[in-house]
Amino acid sequence: MSAPPTQPTVTEREAREVAEAAREQDWRKPSFAKELFLGRFRLDLIHPHPMPPDEDAQRGEEFLAKLRDFCETKIDSARIEREARIPDETIDGLKELGALGMKIDTKYGGLGLTQVYYNKALALVGSANPALGALLSAHQSIGVPQPLKIFGTQEQKETFLPRLARTDISAFLLTEPDVGSDPARLATTAVPDGDDYVLDGVKLWTTNGVVADLLVVMARVPRTEGHKGGITAFVVEAGSEGITVENRNAFMGLRGLENGVTRFHQVRVPAANRIGPEGAGLKIALTTLNTGRLSLPAMCVGAGKWCLKIAREWSAAREQWGKPVAFHEAVGSKISFIAATTFALEAVLDLASQMADEDRNDIRIEAALAKLYGSEMACLMADELVQIRGGRGFETAESLAARGERAVPAEQILRDLRINRIFEGSTEIMHLLIAREAVDAHLSVAGDLIDPEKSLSDKAKAGAQAGAFYARWLPKLVAGPGQLPNSYSEFKHEVDLSPHLRYVERTARKLARSTFYAMSRWQGRMETKQGFLGRIVDIGAELFAMSAACVRAELLRSTEDHGREAYQLADVFCRQSRIRVEELFGRLWTNTDDLDRTVVKGVLSGTYAWLEEGVVDPSGEGPWIADATPGPSTKENVHRPIR
């Protein structure tokens, strides 16, 4: 058995090829968001709003009632924050409720909840304490159950899912000390040895890793005779010999998070525990995240609802200059933003979740947009709540209680939410991921034209294909229903939402034209224009949110008691969103992107080092990135399974 290799060295092109190979290449089902980026507003794909079957809704509501009682009576969020640990009895209580198996089929002992009700449950638990929401999400959204559900063998499902539904906590291990969003450099190895693989390496930020019983581990299998090799997924028993949890990490928020550093040294894993074929690990990870990402916006929705509640109660009680602060415009505008944005985030989440349940549409872009938009907007809402609360917003709940005031953890929610802009794909990576999917149709027909590696004959063939595609596509971007005054009239009631849908239709075509112009202008350099691509994606996110908000408002108008109020919130959100969209369009072509690159070069070369004078650096000593050389652990094992 050969020694494990050191950190792989890869070029930018090689890294891109690894990521591209892991992408789902085909679009077998329609996608509302994909069509939106192509300038086609397919309202028929989301309206009328899809609804869960009555049986699923009843089962979901019954569980939510039990979970709410548990959250109100058994979860002590202040204790979790104070002790920086979730009490074992709290986790045991969640196990007894069946919360570990919310997404696991009933035939394996799970609750079999739909994505819609799973997300409602996460929003509820996350509002009680975000670290608990993260524990349940990491276990089911990206941990062992989801990849097994999609890619596992029947034997694997029968072996592991009953444990995961009731007793065993799982974790997902991909990131390494020197490998984040560039998995081509993955250094953990799985060397075949008879009927086993032998794992060596170090994994960082293993959420749930400190308490996990089962792990999904991504490791590189070397290519040898009889072995295709490549990044591969394994189910690993967390108590296996050679596994050491070397550290329980601590963060600015989510203080109860059981997140660690896990070292593998000569860990034997049966080949029967491999998920899918060799080399399919990244594809499994990305496919798992297609719906797994919806767990983060679920908790962002819960946070928005809580922010709105606190803002309402506090702003009515606190008086300044003879009236409640809510009626001062500077504060009132913040409350309006929180209310309208919470409504839109819930609309995006429920729509994407219901589409995931129905499985009629490909929601990879919708889920990514929900994660991106939810994580960004929730941080803004929490920041506005802290501002509304003033000094009390900056003060800890414990300090407020000590001096006799209501213990409102506003500063905690701001800290806890901040990680969502990094978890499961940072905002910057999400921009690139969504942009790649959004321009897929263009690259499919014209990619060879801008690929320097392609031959002249390949480019000629691509030119013919591109000419035919754009001859059909471009004329359709000139006019559409958004220019007709009576379009979408079914959304015209006491409050009229039809102008907003017409705006979305017109703006989708404008967005597609802007993307085409940029591709024509920059061609092969398009992928380096990350500022431009990020703004394109942000515009698409706003258009998706506006569409979801209008469709949800119409659903509530036709089925529930809050239709008028829902229309009001959708109207306000769309008006706020349109202002952001117009600003983003302006920044597509008027920005400092080129100047920024010049400054960055100067900063890194030391040209501006004089600007750093006059301060001291309180940072400690040590390397920027910890050594992750494979080998036996020299540290105490802090793994503590909860039994």
Question: For residue 168, which of 101, 231, 234, 107 has the smallest C-alpha distance?
Answer: 101
Q: What is the DSSP letter of 591?
A: S
> Which helix H or strand E contains 221, and what residues bound it?
strand 214-221
282, 231 in Cβ contact below 8 A?
A: yes
User: What are the angstrom distances between the C-alpha of 6 and each of 96, 130, 265, 345, 458?
Assistant: 44, 37, 14, 44, 38
User: What are the angstrom distances between the C-alpha of 483 and each of 112, 125, 381, 569, 573?
Assistant: 45, 44, 34, 24, 21
124, 99 in Cβ contact below 8 A?
A: no
Q: What is the DSSP letter of 248?
A: E
Euclidean distance between CA atoms 507 and 36, whole angstroms: 9
Cβ contacts of 168 within 8 Å, gap of 6 or more: 100, 160, 213, 214
The token pair that represents 524 in the structure block: 């092969």
> Which helix H or strand E contains 394, and what residues bound it?
helix 391-394
Strand partners, 217: 173, 234
The token pair that represents 577 in the structure block: 């969103």
484, 507 in Cβ contact below 8 A?
A: no
Strand partners, 201: 264
Cis before residue 475, ω within 30 degrees of 0? Answer: no
What is the amino acid identity at position 180? G
Beta-sheet strands, E only, within 71-210: 170-173, 189-193, 196-207
Q: Of 346, 424, 437, 542, which one is the catalytic site residue? A: 424
Backbone phi, psi, residue 381, to 5°:
-65, -45
563-589 vs 329-358: helix axis angle to the nearest 10? 100
**Strand 170-173 with 230-237, pairing:** unpaired
For residue 105, the SS3 value is coil
Euclidean distance between CA atoms 192 and 273, whole angstroms: 13
Place of tokens 């803004």: 380
> Which helix H or strand E contains 218, and what residues bound it?
strand 214-221
Euclidean distance between CA atoms 145 and 164, whole angstroms: 7
Verify whether residue 81 is a known catalytic residue.
no
Q: What is the DSSP letter of 244?
A: E
Place of tokens 């524990």: 135
Place of tokens 């499919």: 444
State the CB neighbour count (10 A cutoff) for residue 249.
15
Euclidean distance between CA atoms 247 and 636, whole angstroms: 8
User: Residue 142, exposed/middle/buried by CB under 10 A (0-12, 13-18, 19+)?
Assistant: buried
The token pair that represents 451 in the structure block: 């690929």
Euclidean distance between CA atoms 159 and 144, whole angstroms: 12
Euclidean distance between CA atoms 523 and 515, whole angstroms: 11
Euclidean distance between CA atoms 565 and 573, whole angstroms: 12
Active-site residue set = 424
